[in-house]
Chain A
């Protein structure tokens, strides 16, 4: 079955750019699914960041849109997140997830998450 694995630096300096990758295994990123990023600050709830389709079409959370870029690399079967001009408020666990087909937009497969701390 499909599995997702996030990777990237665990520590990012303020004003820097957070870069994460989600590797897709057990399936193709070119399937009929959207692929999402969700984050969770320490002790808080879930925040949707955005999503991408293998064609490159994207949807972003307007609250982050000016700082976010999500891209797909079909040759590596992975998708990526870049968040620029980070502050301490961007410290969170970052999850990648698959939006299931036939689930009316529910995220049916999740990565384990990766913790990113913004600190100097």
Chain B
């Protein structure tokens, strides 16, 4: 199995802050890395696919980077609606795995 880790597990930030979340794979996954946002009681929402491609309709303040084993999700200027949990997911292997999540809450 490809194990996914995320750091930090949680963070507190203010509106307008630049936020960076890191995801690491236990082996190289090329660019087969996707990011999701999940709000309480809601289904996950795809933000970024293929490590750096912005899903249609997602604000441009979200960006992704990385390849191989290390990846980053950046929110350039945190907005009130961005307070949520963020998950990375690898789709390199036929056994899909998610990271444990990073909760972003209000400072």
Contacts and interface: CB of A to CB of B under 8 A. Distances in A.
Interface of A: 36, 38, 45-48, 51, 59, 61-62, 95, 97, 99-100, 103-108, 110-113
Given A45-B87, A95-B43, A103 B49 contact: yes
Nearest to B94: A59
A104 B87 contact: no
Given A45-B87, A108-B49, 18 more contacts: A45-B100, A46-B36, A46-B44, A46-B87, A46-B89, A46-B101, A47-B98, A48-B97, A61-B96, A99-B91, A100-B49, A103-B46, A106-B50, A106-B55, A107-B34, A107-B44, A110-B45, A112-B43
Contacts of A51: 96
Given A45-B87, A59-B94, A106-B91, A113 B49 contact: no
B31 interface: yes
Contact of A45 (B31, B95, B98): B98
Interface string B20-42: 00000000000110101010001
Contacts of A112: 42-43
Interface of B: 1, 31-32, 34, 36, 38, 42-46, 49-50, 53, 55, 87, 89, 91-92, 94-101
A48 B96 contact: yes
Smallest CB-CB A-B distances: 8 pairs: A105-B91, A106-B49, A106-B34, A110-B43, A48-B96, A103-B49, A46-B98, A104-B50
Contacts of A99: 91
Contacts of A36: 96
